Amino acid sequence: MLFTGPKAAESLTGLVTNDVLSLRGGDGQYACALTQKGRVIADVRILAIAGGDGSVASLLVDANPAAGPGFAAMIRKYVNPRLAKYVDVTASTACLTLVGPSALSLLAALGASGVNVDEVANGAAYTHRTVTLAGVTARLVRVPDLGATDAFDLHCDAADVSTLRDALQQAGAEQGAEHEWDRLRVIAGRPEWGVDMDETTLAQEANMDALLAISYQKGCYTGQETVARVHFRGHVNRTLRRVRLGGGTIPPHGAPLLDKEEKPVGDVRSTAIGDDGQLIGIAMMRREVPDAGELTWVSADAAAHAVAVVGSADEA
């Protein structure tokens, strides 16, 4: 969704957990949109796009397909289009992601090099600049979703995506399977809305503070009271954690996790095969379960499968 107008940043910052007003042209950030009770409607990326004078001319907000409708409904409900115009650009925009150590060399092979690429490569998360690749204008974005694995998004017009994809493949890029992004983000411990979290999840339960999606210095926003109360006065009772699953059997989404007394202490959310061939996952778990704790889940045939707690879901 693209926001424009003199009150765009002000309107948006009142609806998300991060400080949109702090962004300058070419900056970006991760944030959440919350219900009044502090539960996650959507997690979003916000890119501040510079105008000709260098100031922020528009804000591009990106959410995954599962979270998009909830975020759009919130915007329609709370944002006055006379103060901040917004338009859904989903159908007219496409995104390709370059993953791996050869990403930058592929860009150079297609003519994208110089200051803009260097600033993205060396910048903070979600730094972005305009580049030209094989005659296609695109927005290059540094994304941290895969942890230590280099990843860059290329936003372009939907009409140009086939041209851009073909040029990347001709330069040596290999198109990954659709599930590969999901596998890599699970390895990195990155939660996905609609899988690991939803509208029943508090922001801190999804480790959004550790993922730098929350500003504790900004002004008021929807759901702030709950977020602030958790941060300054208490804690959440459960959080997303990384787990290693033994036995090679993939648990279904929501499979209960049991402690040594067979008491439920959490449930499995995402699973993937790690680079070492072992099954890993992200689980929602009671905070008192220690890192390196040993749990089990029970499959339909009544077999118990070992689960080892690795650490917080934001730790790759």
- List pLDDT tens digits, range 140-161: 999 999 988 889 999 999 999 9
Decide: 199 and 35 in contact? Cβ < 8 Å. yes
Which of 90-94, 248-252, 308-312 is predicted least confidently?
A: 308-312
On whether the CB atoms of residues 151 and 99 are closer than 8 A, the answer is yes
Cα 158–163–167 angle (5° rounding)?
135
Q: How many CA atoms lie within 13 A of 215 on its CB side?
A: 21
Report the alpha-carbon distance of residue 21 to residue 296 in Å, rounded: 46
Using pLDDT thresholds of 50, 70 and 90, give the confidence band for residue 182: very high
- In this predicted structure, the answer to whether residue 255 has a pLDDT above a threshold of 90 is yes
pLDDT tens digits, residue range 21-62? 999 999 999 999 999 999 999 999 999 999 888 789 999 999
Query: Do 213 and 43 touch, CB atoms closer than 8 A?
Result: yes
Q: Which two tokens stand for residue 43?
A: 């997690």
- The boundaries of every CATH 3.30.1360.120 domain in the chain are 1-90+202-236, 93-170
DSSP conformation class of 281: E
Topology (CATH level 3) of domain 1-90+202-236? Gyrase A; domain 2 (3.30.1360)
Measured CA to CA, the distance from residue 16 to residue 26 in angstroms comes to: 19
Closest CA to 64 of 161, 191, 179, 149: 191
Homologous superfamily of domain range 93-170: Probable tRNA modification gtpase trme; domain 1 (3.30.1360.120)
Supply the mean pLDDT for the chain. 94
Q: Which of 187, 98, 207 is nearest to 142 (CA)?
A: 98
CATH top class, domain 237-316: mainly beta
Chain segment 76-125, per-residue pLDDT in tens: 999 999 889 999 999 999 999 999 999 988 998 888 877 899 999 999 99
Taking residues 247-272, report their average pLDDT. Answer: 96
97 burial type by CB count under 10 A (0-12 exposed, 13-18 middle, 19+ buried): middle
Please report the pLDDT score of residue 314 as a whole number: 62
Give the range among 102-111, 189-198, 273-282 with minimum mean pLDDT: 102-111
**SS3 call for 59:** strand
Write down the pLDDT at residue 311.
83
pTM: 0.94
Cα–Cα distances in angstroms (integers) from residue 313 to residues 14, 45, 127, 205, in the given order: 27, 19, 23, 10
* Main-chain dihedrals φ then ψ at residue 129, nearest 5 degrees: -150, 160
DSSP-based three-state secondary structure for 79: coil
